[in-house]
A and B are shown apart, each in its own frame.
Chain A
Amino acid sequence: MFDLNWRSWGRRLAGLWRASLQLRTVAISVALSALAVGIIGVYMALSVGNNLFTSRLDSALGSSERSNVAAQNRFDATEDSVGLDLERAMDNAAQAALQSASSPDQSTLIAIMRTAGQSGASIPIDKVSPTLDADAIISPELQKLVADSTERRQYWQSVSLPQEDGTVDPGIVVGSALQVPNSGKYEMYLVYNLNDTQETLNFIQQTLWLGCLALVILIGAVTYIVVRLVVGPVRIAAETSEKLAAGQLEVRIPEKGEDVLATLARSFNGMAASLQNQITKLAALSQVQQRFVSDVSHELRTPLTTIRLAGDVLYDQRDTFPPATARTAELLHTQVQRFELLLADLLEMSRYDAGAVDMETEPTSLVRLVEDAVESVATLAASKGSDLRVVAPGGYFEADVDSRRIRRILQNLLGNAIDHGEGRPIVIHVDSDKHAVAIAVRDYGVGMTPAAMDRVFDRFWRADPSRQRVTGGTGLGLAISLEDAVLHGGWLEVWSAPGEGSCFRLTLPRERGVELHSSPMELPPVEALPEREDSDA
Chain B
Amino acid sequence: MRAMNAKILVVDDDTALAEMIGIVLRTEGFEPFFCADGTGAVEAFHLAKPDLVLLDLMLPGIDGIEVCARIREESGVPIIMLTAKSDTSDVVKGLESGADDYVVKPFNPKELVARIRTRLRPTPDAPTGSLTVGDVSLDVAGHEVRRGDDRINLTPLEFELLLALALKPQQVFTREMLLEQVWGYHYKADTRLVNVHVQRLRAKVEVDPDNPRIVMTVRGVGYRAGSTA
Contacts and interface: CB of A to CB of B under 8 A. Distances in A.
B110 interface: yes
Given A303-B16, A407-B188, A309 B89 contact: no
Contacts of A343: 106
A376 B219 CA distance: 26
A313 B17 contact: no
Interface in A353-397: 356, 358, 360, 362-364, 372, 376
A404 interface: yes
Interface in B41-81: none
B139 interface: no
A537 B21 CA distance: 52
A301 B88 CA distance: 17
Interface string A393-431: 000001000011001000000000000000000000000
B27 A313 contact: yes
B177 to A, nearest CB: 13
A358 B89 CA distance: 9
Contacts of B16: 303, 306
Interface in A301-359: 301-310, 312-313, 316, 336, 340, 343, 351, 356, 358
A310 B14 CA distance: 15
A412 to B, nearest CB: 15
A307 B17 CA distance: 9
A305 B109 contact: no
A372 B187 CA distance: 10
A434 interface: no
A362 B220 contact: yes
Q: Give the size range of A's interface with the partner.
A: 20 to 34
A340 B105 CA distance: 9
Contacts of B88: 358, 360
Contacts of A403: 191
B120 interface: no
Interface in B176-204: 187-188, 190-192
Which of A303, A305, A308, A360 is most buried by chain B, counting CB atoms within 10 A of its CB? A305
B87 A305 contact: no
Contacts of A340: 106
B38 to A, nearest CB: 16
A362 B191 CA distance: 11
B24 interface: yes
Contact of B21 (A309, A351, A358): A309
A298 interface: yes
B107 to A, nearest CB: 6
B84 A301 contact: yes
B167 interface: no
Given A310-B20, A398-B220, A404-B190, A305 B85 contact: no
Interface in A284-311: 298, 301-310
B23 interface: yes
Contact of B14 (A298, A306, A336): A306
Task: Determine chain A's interface SS by DSSP, over half rule.
Answer: helix
Contacts of A298: 84-85
Contacts of B190: 404
A305 B105 contact: yes
Nearest to B108: A312
A301 B105 contact: yes
> Which of A302, A304, A336 has the most C-beta atoms of chain B within 10 angstroms of its own C-beta?
A302
B27 A305 contact: no
Contacts of B20: 305-306, 309-310, 313
Contact of A305 (B107, B187, B191, B219): B107
Contacts of B191: 403-404
Nearest to A359: B88
Nearest to A302: B14
Interface in B18-43: 20-21, 23-24, 27
A304 B187 CA distance: 24
Contact of A301 (B21, B106, B188, B219): B106
Contacts of A372: 188
Interface in B78-134: 84-85, 87-89, 105-110, 112
Contact of A363 (B89, B109, B112, B220): B220
Contact of A313 (B105, B109, B220): B109
Contacts of A306: 14, 16-17, 20
A305 B188 contact: no
Given A302-B14, A302-B17, A303-B16, A309 B220 contact: no
B106 A304 contact: yes
B105 A302 contact: yes
A309 B105 contact: no
Contacts of A363: 219-220
A11 B105 CA distance: 65
Nearest to B12: A302
B41 to A, nearest CB: 17
Contacts of B110: 312
Nearest to A362: B220
A305 B220 contact: no
Nearest to A369: B188
B107 A308 contact: yes
Contacts of B108: 308-309, 312
Contacts of B24: 309, 313
Contact of B23 (A313, A336, A362): A313
Contacts of B87: 351, 356, 358
A305 B89 contact: no
A409 B21 CA distance: 33
A302 B105 CA distance: 7
Contacts of A376: 187-188
A305 B84 CA distance: 10
6 contacts: A306-B20, A307-B106, A309-B20, A316-B109, A340-B106, A360-B88
Given A313-B23, A336-B106, A358-B87, 5 more contacts: A305-B17, A309-B24, A312-B109, A316-B109, A364-B220
Interface of B: 14, 16-17, 20-21, 23-24, 27, 84-85, 87-89, 105-110, 112, 187-188, 190-192, 219-220
